[in-house]
Structure 1
Amino acid sequence: MWFPRLASDRVLRVRPLEGPFALTLMEANSERLYCLNRAAEKAGLSRGMSLADARAFCPGLMTDPARPDRDAAFLGVLRRWATRYCPWVGTDGRDGLILDISGASHLFGGEEEMLSDMQARAARSGLTLRVGLADTRGAAWALAHHAPGLAAPGETAAALAPLPVAALRLEPAEVAGLERLGLRHVGELEATPRAPLTRRFGPSALMRLDQAMGRQGEAVSPEAEPPHYATRLTLPEPIGLQEDVMEGTRRLLARLCETLERQETGARRLCLTLRRVDRDSRQVELRLAAPMRDAARILPLFQRGLDGIDAGFGIDQMRLEATQVESLPAQQLGPRNGGNGNARLEDLLTRIGTRIGLENVQRFLPADSHIPARAFRTLPAAWTEPGQGWVPPRPRPLRLFAPEPIAGHGPRPPERFRWRRMSLVTARATGPERIAPEWWFDDPDWRRGLRDYWLIETRQGRRLWLFHTPQAPGWFVEGEFA
């Protein structure tokens, strides 16, 4: 099953457009056409053409940026859909599927009826589909890309003979080399002595030919189904007490955490759905500050969300799903790491985040910058880890504030100065530490240029951070040490 316009069909199914349309992708410092609809191809455009040339040929061309990641996810959805025809389905490149329908075609009335059903369902969904059916994977690929249809059993060689050599999934350089020798069709390549071809092109070209003809096996590897992080509990009698709901949640968590442990993952977001007997439902969402799979730790965190649940006439079904999971590999336990030292902090962050939102619980982290005001940043604590980060070459004050001018002359710190209505006497001066502005940032506070920073210890007990600006002479106080 080949979807030649998979990317553009995915976009146009959601937002239909009339006229030429294409998706563009930046390649080799140039924006080029990635996938086109039928109208754009009729206008003479082709894949790989630069966007500037395409607009010159077709001024009315409408474009959108390509999203290969979303195309891959959409192909995964189509792979699951294709399992309605057979259980053995795998992906083939970025726009194709490969199916092994042995023993399944009779369920649809035969092979031709199965192909017709595939085409009809794809057309109703707004997808362009070309299908090839043959005894081998290589032959089916060749038919789908060059002559869609069915090759009868035992007629693979006859069906492939008139097709171009590109139908054998060869590299472009190999195709060009064969065509220069006059071997333009598969039948001509099949009739050519093998030894000269092997010496000239290596074994890859003949390997593809043997795979298409069935002389060399080629497996179809279906993709494994992704793990399902959800569990359900159907109750014989409705429940309504909070203790009963918590007990049901405990049982669901135990089963879900077993699945998480097998997959070496941890839940970051959980959704508990409670279905009432009147077919209405209530949901409790829990966002965790760190990936977890310990049922005993997670269960108390549901307490606040379940306090205000209206059970109505009773709850007869409970469903728990981990809607967001992250990798959480197993760790070697020893005498020094027998437990998770951050468990209490993570539980506290989760409890606070349940009330005010995890994004509002933030921590300070060091930033790689010599500029004092940029040497730190604030990020949500739930998605960051405390670390050492960048260490400045000199001590930095605990308190920073906007520069406050003081009286002073020359490059040496003043012996006496007034600051915030206090008369201070310099007892010891350490410095200077020259810091240059970061030219890639336009910071109004640093438009004066260079700064020479000094650590000033006064006889009055104040330890201040002063700086001098050589370009426009002046002294300022910017921070105070503890």
Structure 2
Amino acid sequence: MFDGIQRRVVSMWFPRLPSDRVLRMYPGDGPFALTLKDSNANRLYCLNIEAEKQGLHRGMSYSDARAYCPALQSRPADPAADRRQLRVLRRWATRYCPWVGLEGADGLVLDITGAAHLFGGEAAMLADMRQRLARAGLSVRLGLGDTRGAAWALARHGEGAAEPGQPLAALGALPVAALRLEDATVTALQRLGLRTIAELAGAARAPLARRFGPALMMRLDQALGHLGEEISPLAEPPHYGVRLTLPDPIGLYDDVMAGTSRLLDQLCARLKAQETGARMLCLTLRRVDQDSQTVELRLARPLRDPHRILPLFDRGVKEIEAGFGIDQMRLEATQVEPLPVRQLSHVSSGQKGQLDDLITRIGTRIGLENIRRFLPADSHIPERSFLVVPAAYSDPEGPWVALRPRPLRLFPPEPIAGSGARPPGRFRWRRMSFSTARATGPERIAPEWWLEDDNWRSGVRDYWQIETRQGRRLWLYYTPQAPGWFVQGEFA
């Protein structure tokens, strides 16, 4: 009871949330299941109704399921995406009441006390929930009771609504498993002849408490309303936005930068409290004519240091058209990333931070994606021994390790005239004549058979380091299976 109002709780159970989520993106008919690898075997993780009608069940081996049902369609499960989907549903459910919490990995719990009349009563509210979720392609079972435990039991074992103040009348016929008990406890109670909640409620409490511990009686009392159970709604994600309303319009560059500095101090304090850093910032300047100017700043690394961020706004603020003046400023971190506190020492260096700031400054002009760096890759194939990635979204991985010398410049193989397995004494390359002074090799490199590459389908290559009398140091290779010589690189 809360101030004379009977507490009412709704439990939403989504028995096929993972498969429903995938079928919304990839609609199809017939038996469908998601698979998850468990102990080196693919097993069924979630099934639709058609698959269950074929006799398939969760935990079944995928190979056995295909033997029983050759028409079974499947996709790999993604538990992380399922958790995100459930959080999206939790946010949607706040349209019915503000107190919405998660109930395991496939359910929600709503405290609708005092809110049902806004939807025309409890029956109308439940009907609206079913209709909206069915339209979204989601299977749901609903339970309504005076307690969280009663609503949970009705959603999973009865689906219905308990009359206010009469929980035992609605729960009495349900099995004891509806009390959220462990499987071992349920099996032991059934062996004692206590199969329903009514039979358990009518049994002597003391012997049961001594045998099964306090958890059994606690779950029974929570379901019947003799013991309270809270509903803890998830906290809303922090909002990283600050605003400054000015008493008089401003338009000078120094004034705008001063206001931005004040906003950054407030915003960075919030980011520090949450141990996050801003990756993208949006500064919105509202003019007195109600028009708005926006300055977007994308950072090479997550930051929350206002002294480092402020100079990076310089170029964008200079391009602002203030018009008749700016009377409001708003700064928001539209993209954030975790930035935990790190221990500093006397050997800490600020060089990395200076490089990140330089990448940010250049990125504001040409785009962060256009600033790239080389990273080593785990491959003995010369063309695949490195990656070219955006510098703002990667960290240097080093040191570079090469068991054999590699040329500084690599280019597509260019054929030259030559015969035999030894490097030619004289050859022409790019309309120039060369004489071999020294040859080091060969280094045989075999193709990676597990990857498809048309350039390496011809077989192995024998690489040679060639020092020419003209001063050029080239990297040549010979193909034994289809005799021919090629130049692929040049040493510094």
Asked if TM exceeds 0.5, the reply is yes
Structure 1 equivalent of residue 161 of structure 2: 149
Match of 1:255 among 266, 274, 297: 266
Cα separation, partners in 2 of 1:188 and 1:108, compared to 1, 3 Å: closer
| Contact map agreement 2:146 2:162 (CA 8 A) in 1 | yes
Pairwise CA distance, 1:470: 2.6
State the shift of 1:186 in Å.
1.6
Change (3 A) 1:227 1:46: farther
Q: After the TM superposition, which residues 35-74 of structure 1 pair with which residues of structure 2 at under 5 Å, given as runs? A: 69=80, 72-74=83-85
Gaps of 5+ in 1: none
| Alpha-carbon displacement from aligned partner over 1:430-482 (angstroms, at most 9, x marks no partner) | 33222110112232222221112222333443322222223233333222211
Which one-letter code corresponds to 2:145 in the other structure? L
Q: Deviations over 1:116-142 (max 9, x none)?
A: 57436636745667242324x323321
Residues 277 and 339 in structure 2, CA contact (< 8 A), matched pair in contact too: yes
| Alignment partner, residue 343 of structure 1 | 353
Paired residues in the alignment total 465
**C-alpha separation between the residues in 2 aligned to 1:438 and 1:452?**
15
Amino acid at match of 1:419: R
Aligned to 1:472: 482
Contact preservation (8 Å) 1:20, 1:43: no
1:300 to 311, 326, 344: 311
Q: 1:455 and 2:462 equivalent?
A: no
* Matches of 2:76 and 2:330, distance apart in 1: 39
Q: Which residue of 2 aligns with 1:311?
A: 322
Greater shift, 454-463 or 222-231, is seen at: 454-463
2:411 aligned residue (393, 401, 407): 401
How many angstroms apart in 2 are the aligned matches of 1:30 and 1:45?
Answer: 15
CA distance in 2, matches of 1:456, 1:44: 69
1:126 and 1:161, CA in 2 relative to 1: closer, same or farther beyond 3 A? closer
CA contact (8 A) 2:277 2:337 kept: yes
Q: Tell me which of 416, 433, 450 is aligned to 2:443.
A: 433
Counterpart-to-counterpart distance in 2, 1:448 and 1:93: 56
Q: Bigger relative contact order, structure 1 or 2, given CA contacts below 8 A and separation 6+?
A: 2
Query: How far does the alpha carbon of each residue in 1:210-252 deviate from its partner, in whole angstroms, 9 at most, with x for none?
Result: 5535677755444333222111112223333333222221111
TM-score scaled by structure 1?
Answer: 0.79
1:134 to 136, 140, 146: 146
From 116, 122, 130, the counterpart of 2:129:
122
After superposition, the Cα gap between the structure-2 partners of 1:11 and 1:85, relative to the gap in structure 1 and judged at 3 Å, is: closer
TM-score norm. by structure 2 comes to 0.77
Q: Among 93, 114, 119, which residue is 2:104 paired with?
A: 93
Q: Which amino acid aligns with 2:428?
A: W
Partner of 1:291: 302
2:389 pairs, out of 357, 379, 390, with 379
| Structure 2: runs of 5+ lacking an equivalent | 1-9, 135-139
| Separation in structure 2 between the aligned mates of residue 2 and residue 388 of structure 1, nearest angstrom | 53
Q: Which residue identity does 1:228 align to in structure 2? A: H
Task: Call closer, same or farther: CA 1:336–1:390 in 2, change over 3 Å.
Answer: closer
Cα distance in 1 for residues equivalent to 2:211 and 2:444: 66
Q: Distance in 2 between matches of 1:44 and 1:266?
A: 51
Hey, what does 1:276 align to over in structure 2?
Answer: 287
Q: Distance in 1 between matches of 2:205 and 2:284?
A: 65
Counterpart position of 1:184: 195
Which one of 416, 428, 442 corresponds to residue 419 of structure 1? 428
Distance 1:390 1:156, change over 3 A: farther
Does 2:338 correspond to 1:327? yes
> Contact 2:19 / 2:48 at 8 angstroms: preserved in 1?
no
Offset of 1:422 from its aligned partner?
A: 1.7
Shift of 1:79: 4.0
Alpha-carbon spacing, 1:70–1:408, altered in 2? closer, same or farther (3 Å): closer
Distance apart, 1:177 and its partner CA: 6.8
Compute the displacement of 1:157 (Å): 4.2
Instruction: Note the C-alpha offset of 1:292.
Output: 0.9
The residue type equivalent to 1:306 in the other structure is V
Task: Determine the structure 2 residue equivalent to 1:25.
Answer: 34
Classify 1:109/1:399 alpha carbon distance in 2 versus 1 (closer, same or farther; 3 Å).
closer
Q: What percentage of residue pairs aligned between the two structures are identical? A: 56
Shift in CA distance, 182/303, structure 1 to aligned 2, threshold 3 Å: same
Question: Structure 2 vs 1, CA of residues 91 and 315 (structure 1 numbering), >3 Å: closer, same or farther?
Answer: same
